[in-house]
Amino acid sequence: MTTADPSEAGQSMPLIGDQFPELEVETTHGTLTLPDEYEGEWLVLFSHPGDFTPVCTTEFVAFEQRREEFEDLGANLLGLSVDRVHSHIKWTDWIEEELDVEIGFPIIADETGAVGSELGMLHPGASTSTVRAVFFVDPEGVVRQILYYPLEIGRNMDEILRSLEALQTADEEGVALPADWPNNDNFDDKKLLSPPGDVESVEARLEEAEAEGYDCRDWWFCLTDE
């Protein structure tokens, strides 16, 4: 069950910086109201094409095996597909029995496709299955990052965890993060300061860089390891 209307869904999917839409969803852990259920915490919502499929099975095992790392970062995992609750339960039972991994996070049963349509998870050419989407929702219910993967390629847990940590670091420290942070080949785990927006700020930045010991290659490219 969901408050989304399938006839209208997909017309205004949330983008980065948008408020996550209010949805009531049925899950393997009961009815949840999004994003209120996770108010004050991070939410990593990910869709999969279907239960009892090989790639999705490996992903669910991987998410569960890294769940404590997500929780250590204050984030909750929430799965979704167009299967029914009973299918989710039977599938996760199979995973526990055959692969010795007990799935501890809830899974949305989106059998009408309404939630997937509302969130842009149903793509043309992907039949009626949800693609492999990942939504990062912050403690204020704002969508901060969206990742899409094709049906045939499983997700990279390291990148999802890295993205979550990077978003939190950027928020907490008011910085930007370089490629491959925190393991950039050229700058290690250093962070980037936002470039000044006017001449006066440029001069102030250069003075600040000298006083604080920033690694500035130019006025617009300053690194810090603090």
* CATH, residue 194: 3.30.1020.10
User: 11 Cβ partners below 8 Å, 6+ apart?
Assistant: none
119 and 200 housed in the same domain? no
Per-residue pLDDT at 32: 98
- Residue pair 224/190 in contact by the 8 Å Cβ criterion: yes
Residue 141 lies in a domain: yes
Range of the domain at 221: 174-226
- Residue pair 201/195 in contact by the 8 Å Cβ criterion: no
36 and 114 housed in the same domain? yes
Per-residue pLDDT at 125: 66
86 and 38 housed in the same domain? yes
Residue 5 lies in a domain: no
**CATH assignment of the domain containing 42:** 3.40.30.10
Is the pTM higher than 0.75? yes
190 and 146 housed in the same domain? no
Angstrom distance (rounded) from CA 163 to CA 168: 9
- Per-residue pLDDT of 149-168, as tens digits, reads 988 999 999 999 999 999 99
Which strand (E) or helix (H) includes residue 77?
Answer: strand 75-81
- Catalytic positions are 56
Residue 133 lies in a domain: yes
Look at residue 68 and give its three-state secondary structure: helix
Angstrom distance (rounded) from CA 23 to CA 82: 15
147 and 195 housed in the same domain? no
Per-residue pLDDT at 128: 66
If one counts every other C-beta atom within 10 angstroms of the C-beta of residue 140, the result is 11
Q: Which residues of the chain have pLDDT under 50?
A: 1-11
75 and 183 housed in the same domain? no
Residue 80 lies in a domain: yes
Structural domain total, the chain: 2
> Strand 107-109 to strand 30-34: parallel, antiparallel, or no bridges (unpaired)?
unpaired
**Number of helices (H) and strands (E), helices first, in the chain?**
6, 10
114 and 180 housed in the same domain? no
> Strand 215-218 to strand 221-224: parallel, antiparallel, or no bridges (unpaired)?
antiparallel
